[in-house]
Structure 1
Amino acid sequence: MSTTPAQPARADAPVVADPALRHRVRSLTVRLTDAAGGPLAGARVRAEQRSHAFWFGNIGFDEVQRAAAALPGGTPLTRQEDELLARLDELYLDVFNQATLPFYWGTFEPVQGEPRTAALRAAAQHYVDRGIAVKGHPLVWHTVQPDWLTPLPDDEVLRLLRARVQRDAREFAGLVDVWDAINEVVIMPVFDKDDNAVTRVAATVGRIGMIQLAFDEARAANPDAMLLLNDFDMSADYEHLVEEALAAGVRIDALGLQSHMHQGAWGRDKTLDVLERFSRFGLRMHFTETTLLSGDLMPAHYDDLNDHQVDEWPSTPEGEERQAQQVEEHYRTLLGHPMVDAATYWGLSDHGMWLNAPGGLVRADGTPKPAYDTLRGLVKGEWWLGATDVTADADGAVQLRGFAGRYTVEVDGVRHEVELPAEGGDAQTEVVVGR
Structure 2
Amino acid sequence: MKVRNLRRAVCAAAAAALLVAGAAPAGHAADGPVLRELAAAKGVYYGTAVTASKLSGAYASLAGGQFGSITPGNEMKWGSVEPARGSYDWSGADAVVDFAEAHGQQVRGHTLVWHSQLPGWVSGGSWTADALRTVMTGHIATEAGRYQGRIDHWDVVNEPFDEDGTRRPSVFQTVIGDGYIEDALRAARAADPAAKLYLNDYNIEGVNAKSDAMYELVKSLKARGVPLDGVGLQAHLIVGQVPATLRANLQRFADLGVDVAITELDIRMPLPATDAKLAQQKADYKAVTQACLAVARCAGVTVWGFTDADSWIPDVFPGQGAATPYDEGLRPKPAYFGIAEALGWSGGTGPVTGCAVTYTVQNQWSTGFTAQVTVRNTGSATIPGWRLGWSWPSSGQRVTQAWNATVTQSGTAVTAANASYNGTIAPGSAVGFGVNGTWSGSNPAPAGFTLNGAACSA
Q: TM-score range by the shorter chain?
A: 0.5 to 0.7
Partner SS state of residue 154, structure 1: coil
Deviations along 1:258-306, one digit per CA (max 9) or x if unpaired, are: 2211364325x3212312332330222112122212x32xxxxxxxxxx
Within 1, Cα distance between the matches of 2:123 and 2:285? 40
Within 2, Cα distance between the matches of 1:290 and 1:135? 14
**1:152 counterpart residue number:** 125
**2:157 counterpart residue number:** 182
1:242 corresponds to which of 202, 212, 218:
218
2:103 corresponds to which of 101, 109, 130:
130
Q: Which amino acid aligns with 2:301?
A: A
| Identity fraction in percent | 25
Q: Which amino acid aligns with 1:202?
A: Q
1:93 corresponds to 2:83: no
Within 2, Cα distance between the matches of 1:373 and 1:92? 16
Matches within 5 A, 1:4-15: none
On the 8 A contact 2:137/2:187 being kept in 1, the answer is yes
Deviations along 1:379-417, one digit per CA (max 9) or x if unpaired, are: 48359x9xxxxxxxxxxxxxxxxxxxxxxxxxxxxxxxx
Within 2, Cα distance between the matches of 1:217 and 1:157? 14
Deviations along 1:150-184, one digit per CA (max 9) or x if unpaired, are: 33222333322111100010101232242011112
Alpha-carbon spacing, 1:49–1:183, altered in 2? closer, same or farther (3 Å): closer
1:372 corresponds to 2:345: no
Moved over 4 A (4+): 48-52, 377-380
1:226 corresponds to 2:226: no
**Could you tell me the TM-score, scaled by structure 1's length?**
0.62
**1:266 counterpart residue number:** 242
Q: Which amino acid aligns with 1:247?
A: A
Within 1, Cα distance between the matches of 2:124 and 2:62? 43
**1:161 counterpart residue number:** 136
**Larger helix percent:** 1
Q: Which amino acid aligns with 1:353?
A: S
Within 2, Cα distance between the matches of 1:372 and 1:131? 21
Aligned-pair distance for 1:124?
Answer: 0.9
Q: Which amino acid aligns with 2:158?
A: N
Matches within 5 A, 1:7-406: 51-52=40-41, 53-60=43-50, 62=51, 64-66=52-54, 86-101=57-72, 102=74, 103-155=76-128, 156-187=131-162, 191=168, 199-207=170-178, 209-234=179-204, 235-262=211-238, 264-267=240-243, 269-293=244-268, 295-296=269-270, 313-356=271-314, 357-379=321-343, 381=345
Q: Which amino acid aligns with 2:117?
A: V
Within 2, Cα distance between the matches of 1:89 and 1:378? 24
Within 2, Cα distance between the matches of 1:292 and 1:317? 15
On the 8 A contact 2:154/2:198 being kept in 1, the answer is yes
Decide which moves more: 104-113 or 355-364.
104-113
On the 8 A contact 2:325/2:332 being kept in 1, the answer is yes
Alpha-carbon spacing, 1:179–1:367, altered in 2? closer, same or farther (3 Å): same
Q: Which amino acid aligns with 1:86?
A: G
Q: Which amino acid aligns with 2:189?
A: R
Alpha-carbon spacing, 1:58–1:263, altered in 2? closer, same or farther (3 Å): same
Aligned-pair distance for 1:109?
Answer: 2.4
- Number of matched residues? 295
Alpha-carbon spacing, 1:237–1:189, altered in 2? closer, same or farther (3 Å): closer
Deviations along 1:43-102, one digit per CA (max 9) or x if unpaired, are: xxxxx9994441111112x2x1236xxxxxxxxxxxxxxxxx521222233321011113
Partner SS state of residue 245, structure 1: helix
Aligned-pair distance for 1:377?
Answer: 5.0
Between the two structures, name the one with larger relative contact order (CA 8 Å, sep ≥ 6).
Answer: 1
Alpha-carbon spacing, 1:93–1:375, altered in 2? closer, same or farther (3 Å): farther
**Could you tell me the TM-score, scaled by structure 2's length?**
0.59
Partner SS state of residue 113, structure 1: coil
Aligned-pair distance for 1:129?
Answer: 1.5
Alpha-carbon spacing, 1:177–1:335, altered in 2? closer, same or farther (3 Å): closer
